[in-house]
Amino acid sequence: MADEAVATRAPENDAFDQGNVADSSGPPEHSGAMGEHCVSDRPTPTGEVPTGETTKLGDVDVYITKPADYPHAPSKLLLLLTSGTGIKSTNNQLQADKFAAEGFLVIMPDQFDGDAAPNSVPEPVSPVQSFLEVFKMGIVDTAKSFMIDMWLARHTPEKVLPILHRVIASAKEEFADAVANGGGIYAVGYCFGAKYVLLLGSENPDSVLWGEEPTDEEQGMVKKGPFIKAGAVAHGTQITPDEIAAVKVPISLVCVDNDPLFPNEIREAGVEALEKNKVEHEVKVFPEVPHGFAVLGDYADPKIKEAQRHAFGQMLGWLQAH
């Protein structure tokens, strides 16, 4: 890369150089890592303040935000599943508020049970670094990666799905009007949360929902799910082609081209299966944007800002159409 390119490179584009790029010899089983954009927030847009409230639903902490005219005007229930930054993130709360402003009663559950991802905001890089400084940064990056891996090991489908099911069950009771008005529950998911929108939109034996292989006995069992009516996901992580293939509800996919955390091979294999299964879907691939771009937050690059607006419009339009 030329010196001029290095000097003008936007910091957010560093995401393209992080993570393990999938082996091009065949579709990988999953994108197993999480990047900086999954566990840290962009700067919050100036002057924007969340309008919802944090409370409990099904004994789970949730951020709830409602349309200004609810309950006097009908609303639809939307489950919003976040990246690793969780429900205390101002940006995630503002993201939920944006959907509420469009007529959805939004429930954003604490799917991490108070254990949001370790903050791994990269340290500023000076133009000239000694070997020792570079070595120290390598140690810090390794420690961050280890912490995130340990965090992921604590938040598996066996841990996360029961939390979501409790929230869904309670939401059906407390906000029965919104569920009925929409004919079911809608869901959106970003990064980590995208995987769980796919699982909630699937029809599987219990063991598959908990991340296990079905036993011989379960092959003939009555399957459970889907638990949502329609879903939209953006730049998912830790997703397998089989998880996309199992989806039975209309699904919209916002993707990043050449995303090391959601490789093209996984997307293509999953979409091929959706087409084979005749599941209604749409896919939009955004080039030259970082993983995590669709999550509300400020960027210096106007192209990324514009892509963020388009991604929100795509997800909102999909939900409104279903």
Give pLDDT, residue 148: 67
Q: Does 5 map to a domain?
A: no
What's the total number of domains in the chain? 1
Q: How far apart are CA 29 and CA 244, in angstroms?
A: 12
- Cis-peptide into 226, omega within 30 deg: yes
Query: How high is the pLDDT of residue 113?
Result: 85
CA distance 1 to 260: 20
Residue 112: what pLDDT? 87
Specify the 3-state DSSP secondary structure of 305: helix
- Predicted TM-score of the model (pTM): 0.79
State the pLDDT at residue 146: 58
Q: In this structure, what CATH number is given to the domain that contains residue 315? A: 3.40.50.1820
User: Has residue 13 been placed in a domain?
Assistant: no
Instruction: Output the six-digit token pair for 159.
Output: 């841990």
Is 29 part of any domain?
Answer: no
What pLDDT score was predicted for residue 115? 75
- Classify residue 127: in a domain, yes or no: no
pLDDT value for 27: 43
Per-residue pLDDT of the chain (322 residues; tens, 9 = 90+): 433 332 323 333 333 333 333 333 444 444 456 556 666 678 888 888 999 999 999 999 999 999 999 999 999 999 999 988 899 999 999 999 999 999 999 999 999 888 777 763 433 434 444 545 544 444 445 555 657 677 667 768 888 999 999 999 999 999 999 999 999 999 999 999 999 999 999 986 554 454 454 455 544 445 588 999 999 999 999 999 999 999 999 999 999 999 998 999 999 999 999 999 999 999 999 999 999 999 999 999 999 999 999 999 999 999 999 9
User: How much is the pLDDT for 48?
Assistant: 87
Write the DSSP symbol of residue 298: -
Q: Is the dihedral of CA 230, 234, 238, 241 positive or negative?
A: positive
- For residue 255, tell me if it sits in a domain: yes
Give every strand in the sheet of 76-81, ordered side by side.
Answer: 53-57, 60-65, 104-109, 76-81, 186-190, 230-234, 251-256, 281-286
Q: Which of 276, 266, 282 is nearest to 314 (CA)?
A: 282
Q: What is the pLDDT of residue 127?
A: 45
Q: Assess if residue 232 is contained within a domain.
A: yes
Q: Are strands 251-256 and 230-234 parallel, antiparallel or unpaired?
A: parallel
For 198, residues 6+ apart whose C-beta sits below 8 A from its C-beta are 189, 231, 233, 236, 239, 243, 244, 246, 247, 251
268 in a structural domain: yes
DSSP per residue, 1-70 = --HHHHHH--GGGGGGGSSPPPPTTS--S------HHHHSPPPPPTT-----EEEEETTEEEEEE--TTT
Q: What is the pLDDT of residue 118?
A: 72
Q: Tell me if 106 sits within 8 A of 52, measured CB to CB.
A: yes
Question: Is residue 169 in a domain?
Answer: yes
Q: Which domain holds residue 192?
A: 35-115+155-321
